Amino acid sequence: MSASIIPIARPSFTFIGERLWLDFVNTDATRGKVRTDALLSFDSYLRWLEAAGALDGERAMTMRRRVLEQPAGATAALVEARRTRAILRQLAERGSRADRPRADAVAELNRILGRSAGTRRLELRRDGSVARTFVPVGDAFTGLLIPIVESAADTLVLDELPRVRRCAGADCSRVFHDATRNGARRWCDMSGCGNRAKAARHRARTARERHEPTSAISD
Ligand SMILES: [Zn+2]
């Protein structure tokens, strides 16, 4: 099946992954016949980072100026972001069951970390919350990936990979961290995939009941 790619606008960004790196993986997601990709342009990449809280407004403005000065650098950074995303998707989908995606991801995370120098900072936000930020020096384009890479690193270090799942919805490629106590989350969202699955179960049940009117079927 070839899905058409739709560049997504800010209002369409969804953050259901529970972890920044999983939301980043979900910037390229297929649901049914529709594929959305937030990394089709560098500007869209910046807008996603801002929406995700991984880039503050001031730095975003600096980056937009830098894009005008170094368009080739921005293009290369976008290619790098997409490459990292593909490797992180492998990690999200198979990382807890296979060694290879984990080894590939560790190499990729180290590659990005090795190229980025900068300063760690704590930022006090207006709402009183505190965020850990990274202010890159040198190759600022690569620095954009640092919060994402750190989020993935946290999952590996904390051994949370077995909690990472792909949505059980048919034709849905979204991934998420299952934060439920009993590890029972199956859907990216209840209003979309979860709801469709519920409706499909209901249809199957009523069809069965029509054929076997005497049997009691529980859900
Ligand atoms: Zn889904």
Q: What is the pTM of this model?
A: 0.82
* Residue 142 contacts residue 135 (beta carbons within 8 Å): no
Distance from the CA of 98 to the center of ligand 1, in angstroms?
23
Higher pLDDT, 142 or 216: 142
Percent of the chain residues topping a pLDDT of 70: 90
- Encode pLDDT of 127-168 as tens digits: 899 988 777 776 678 889 999 999 999 999 999 999 999 999
Distance from the CA of 17 to the center of ligand 1, in angstroms?
11
Distance from the CA of 109 to the center of ligand 1, in angstroms?
27
- Encode pLDDT of 68-80 as tens digits: 999 999 999 999 9
- pLDDT, position 34: 86
- b/e 129-157 (16+ beta carbons within 10 angstroms → b): eeeebbebeeebbbbbbbbbbbbbbebbe
Distance from the CA of 204 to the center of ligand 1, in angstroms?
20
- pLDDT, position 11: 52
How would DSSP label each residue in 148-180? HHHHHHHHHHTT-GGGEEE--STTB--EEE--S
Distance from the CA of 88 to the center of ligand 1, in angstroms?
18
Q: Measuring CA to CA, which residue among 132, 158, 137, 127 is closest to residue 147?
A: 132
Distance from the CA of 168 to the center of ligand 1, in angstroms?
7
Give the CATH fold of the 3-210 domain: Jann2411-like fold (1.10.3300)
Distance from the CA of 75 to the center of ligand 1, in angstroms?
30
How much is the mean pLDDT over the chain?
87
